[in-house]
Amino acid sequence: MVKIARSAYIHYSAKQMFDLVDDIEAYPEFLPWCQNTAVLERTESSVTASICIQKSQFNKSFVTTNTIKRYENITMTLVEGPFKKLDGNWYFKDLDDEGSKITLNIEFEFKNRILGMTLGSFFEKSCNTLMDAFIQRAAQVYE
């Protein structure tokens, strides 16, 4: 199982960063590995969405339910897809007038060993660069 933990102190607010992470429909615009997304259901406290990742000729979709505590955290739980396990958490904390601290934790393991060998390092790299991608997106959207 792969575990990823990233944190960043940034000059954007927790609300601004939460809004970017919660805007699943926009992911294909700035995440190069994200071919497409579809929000299947959205309520006040959760979002169920499908994300299709692409690497060369490989396309794999997965569905997660994100439990939301608005502007504070998003907890991602696997519904279906090529993973044995895929769990994640985003945490958003304002730091007075200085900006915010954003934390991302992801754990994943592919169901199929061959698929894990084929896409595992690619997915791990994608997860490792996720924080930077959202910070760059914030600069595009908010500046």
Task: Assign 2 a pLDDT band (cuts: 50, 70, 90).
Answer: confident
Q: Which CATH number do you get for residue 134? A: 3.30.530.20
Domain count, the chain: 1
- Token pair listed for 42: 């959205």
Query: Could you list the residue range(s) of the whole structural domain that residue 125 is in?
Result: 2-142
Residue partners of 40: CB distance under 8 A and separation at least 6: 48, 49, 50, 63
pTM: 0.91
- Token pair listed for 60: 């794999």
CA distances from 83 to 15, 45, 112 (A): 30, 24, 8
76-134 pLDDT, tens digit per residue, is: 999 999 999 999 999 999 998 889 999 999 998 888 886 677 676 777 788 778 999 99
Mean pLDDT of 19-48: 96
95 vs 1, residue with greater confidence = 95
Amino acid 108 reads F
Cβ atoms 124, 4 nearer than 8 A: yes
96 vs 28, residue with greater confidence = 28
35 burial class (0-12, 13-18, 19+ CB within 10 angstroms)?
middle
